[in-house]
Structure formats: structure tokens, C-alpha cells
């Protein structure tokens, strides 16, 4: 289920940002998370910056360092935002399940 939530006129939270947060939490790296999503580091970093700017505190914090020394962590606020998004996803899927089934039946031409 692809759910894109418009929170303000210029900020959306959707599956890409949510997946990026999950992968940063898992890998401890913006670059590694982006790579797993088949996006450039620049694109992943840009999404992190957009998310961090949209909230009063960062969703992702980074540490600088040389090769192998830097990293990234999803903050407690980032985890909270991710949990809310995944909950909205599940609720949406449950609310529209019957309609999705009906549409699939209509697509197949079966009754």
C-alpha cells in the first residue's frame, strides 16, 4: 500500500521517506540506506534534510568522520514519526480492503 500523507503545503510523508528512515535505523548510514533503495547518497541526504526541516527536532542525526567513522541514527522523534506513518498505512489498508477486492474482481471480469 502506497500511502502519501500531505502534512503541510510543502511536506509529504510517504513510503519512500518511511523506508529510508527504517533503513537508516537498520544500517546506521544514510549512504547504505540509500544504496539499498537504489538511490544516490545525494538524494537520500536531500530527503533526510527535508524531513529534518519539517519537524521541530531532527528525525535523523548524523556524526561526521573519516572513512568508516561517520554514521546516522534515527532519533526518538524519527521513530515516533515512522511508527505513526506505519500505523496509518495499516489502518488505510484495513479500511479499503473490501473495495480493493471488489476492484480486483472487476478487473478480472469475474463475478
Label residue 4 by pLDDT band (50, 70, 90): very high
State percent of the chain over pLDDT 90: 88
Q: What is the CATH number of the domain that holds 90?
A: 1.10.10.10
Q: How do beta strands 60-63 and 71-74 pair?
A: antiparallel
Whether 64 shows a pLDDT value over 90: the answer reads no
24, 74 in Cβ contact below 8 A?
yes
Question: Which segments of 1-111 are extended strands (E)?
Answer: 5-8, 11-13, 60-63, 71-74
The tally of domains found in the chain comes to 1
Domain encompassing residue 76: 5-108
State percent of the chain over pLDDT 70: 94
Between the alpha carbon of residue 76 and those of residues 26, 40, 59, 61, the distances in Å are: 14, 25, 8, 10
Label residue 66 by pLDDT band (50, 70, 90): low
Amino acid at each position: 500500500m502506497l500511502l502519501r500523507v500531505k502534512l503541510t503545503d510543502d511536506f509529504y510523508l510517504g513510503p519512500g521517506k518511511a523506508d529510508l528512515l527504517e533503513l537508516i535505523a537498520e544500517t546506521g548510514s544514510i549512504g547504505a540506506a540509500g544504496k539499498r533503495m537504489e538511490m544516490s547518497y545525494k538524494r537520500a541526504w536531500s530527503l533526510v534534510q527535508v524531513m529534518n526541516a519539517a519537524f521541530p527536532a531532527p528525525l535523523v542525526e548524523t556524526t561526521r568522520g573519516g572513512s568508516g567513522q561517520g554514521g546516522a541514527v534515527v532519533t526518538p522523534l524519527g521513530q515516533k514519526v515512522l511508527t505513526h506513518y506505519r500505523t496509518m498505512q495499516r489502518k488505510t489498508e484495513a479500511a479499503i480492503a473490501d473495495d480493493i477486492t471488489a476492484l480486483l474482481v472487476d478487473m478480472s471480469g469475474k463475478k
